[in-house]
Amino acid sequence: MSEVWKPSVTVAAIVERDGKFLIIEEHTTDGIKLNQPAGHLDPGESLPYGAERECLEESGWRVRATGLVGIYMSRYTSTRTGQDVTYLRFGFAAKAIEQLHNATLDHEIIQVHWLNLNELRATIEQHRSPLVLQCVEDYLAIEAGHKVLTPLDQIFTHPSVLKGSMPAGAT
């Protein structure tokens, strides 16, 4: 039987505050990189909840997903390991609720930054993925009225997925 190809599903939080975007600086297999708070969708959680969880784990910011900015695919081949992976990323606009100053961040995280669009463009060589800037540009296109934010009620998660792993009331 041939192997079945499966992309890795990831979720990302695009958090904007006062013209700046929440960006994490992290250790990766390819060195130090910049990214939105993002990571793999965990079993038993909805897509928006996964983005909220990743944001808290990587930045210490509690956020609330407000809509889907876009669905993205990219292929990544590690320059160090040669590993080849296709990622399917769901990028969510999220509103910053509060910073938890005593939060323990994932061990790969070096620092949390708030960067404006020009700063993001100036650091493009440090981005973990080409999707970092693409998500921000799509978010800004939505804010300018050129694209539409997909409402969260358009994303259906069957209750069978959620079996007991998400907190009550989480979306």
* Percent of residues, the chain, with pLDDT higher than 70: 94
| Lowest mean pLDDT, pick from 3-7, 9-13, 36-40, 117-121 | 3-7
80 or 128, higher pLDDT: 128
- Average of per-residue pLDDT across 106-120: 98
CA distance 37 to 99: 14
pLDDT over 70 at 171, yes or no: no
When pLDDT is cut at 50, 70 and 90, the band that residue 29 belongs to is: confident
User: Residue 38: is its pLDDT beyond 70?
Assistant: yes
At 42-74, the pLDDT tens digits run 999 999 999 999 999 999 999 999 999 999 999
Cβ-proximal residues to 119 (8 Å cutoff; 6+ apart), any chain: none
Predicted confidence band of residue 76 (pLDDT cuts 50, 70, 90): confident
Domain borders along the chain are: 8-154
More confident residue, 78 or 37: 37
Distance CA 35, CA 55 (A): 11
Note whether 22 and 36 are within 8 A (CB). Answer: yes
Q: Residue range 118-145: average pLDDT? A: 97
**What is the pLDDT, as a whole number, of residue 1?**
56
Contacts of 35 (CB under 8 A, 6+ apart): 12, 23, 24, 26, 127, 128, 129, 132
Mean pLDDT of 132-159: 97
Classify domain 8-154 by CATH number. Answer: 3.90.79.10
Among the listed residues 40, 60, 62, the one whose alpha carbon sits nearest the alpha carbon of residue 105: 60
Q: What is the pLDDT of residue 3?
A: 82
Distances (CA, A) of 53 to 17, 45, 96: 19, 10, 13
